[in-house]
Structure 1
Amino acid sequence: MPAEKTLDVALSELVGAIGSLENAVDARIERQRESSEVEGEVRRVHADRARLAQELDQSQFRANRLEEVNREVSRRLVTAMETIRAVLDR
């Protein structure tokens, strides 16, 4: 094989290798960008979860407090009804 053809083949292979390398670098950059986006989304999901957990805790506290108040009101109503019945029975 003449030297010119060997050089042409080598240059062609080099151009192909450089093209493959550029494609690999572009793919790597894209994966890193996507990874950064995913990490940002995960942080947002964790922040939302923490906020929702706090809201749930507050709602449970309010529900428990309302339940306590409801029992107290019920107890007072029963006492009031018994007092009214006692007065009416006299």
Structure 2
Amino acid sequence: MTSNSTSAAEAALARLSTALARLESAVSRRLEDERHEDREAELALMAEDRARLAAALDAASARLAQVEATTGEVGVRIDRAIGAVERVLGRPQDAG
């Protein structure tokens, strides 16, 4: 190889090396962008799940409060019914 050939080859290798570095950099940026997009999509899904679960929890809490209130009312009615039956049967009632 002549000196001109060597220079040209070295220059070509330098350009190739620069081009490969730019390509690697572009690929790295693209992969990072894709990871960022994936994270954003995942966060959006988790936010939707959280909102859905919060609504379900609110509904369940409201239902529980309703059931507890109904249970209390039923207990009072059952106690009254027991008292009425005991009076009809002539049994003495408990003092409490």
- The normalised TM-score by structure 2 is 0.85
Q: Which moved more, 1:26-35 or 1:45-54?
A: 26-35
1:1-90 to structure 2, matched below 5 A, reads 2-89=3-90
Structure with greater helix percent: 1
Q: Which moved more, 1:72-81 or 1:26-35?
A: 26-35
- What is the root-mean-square deviation in Å for CA atoms of aligned residues? 1.6
Corresponding position of 2:94: none
The gaps in structure 2 that reach 5 residues or longer are 92-96
* Distance in 2 (alpha carbons) for counterparts of 1:88 and 1:5: 120
% same residue: 24
Report Cα offsets for 1:6-59 as digits up to 9, x if no partner. Answer: 332122111111111101101211110121011001001001001101100100
- The normalised TM-score by structure 1 is 0.90
* Distance in 2 (alpha carbons) for counterparts of 1:41 and 1:12: 43
* Distance in 1 (alpha carbons) for counterparts of 2:9 and 2:41: 48
* Distance in 2 (alpha carbons) for counterparts of 1:62 and 1:8: 80
The gaps in structure 1 that reach 5 residues or longer are none
* Distance in 2 (alpha carbons) for counterparts of 1:87 and 1:5: 120
Secondary structure, counterpart of 1:24 in structure 2: helix
- The aligned length equals 90
Consecutive aligned runs of 4 or more in structure 1 exceeding 4 Å deviation: none
* Distance in 2 (alpha carbons) for counterparts of 1:44 and 1:31: 20
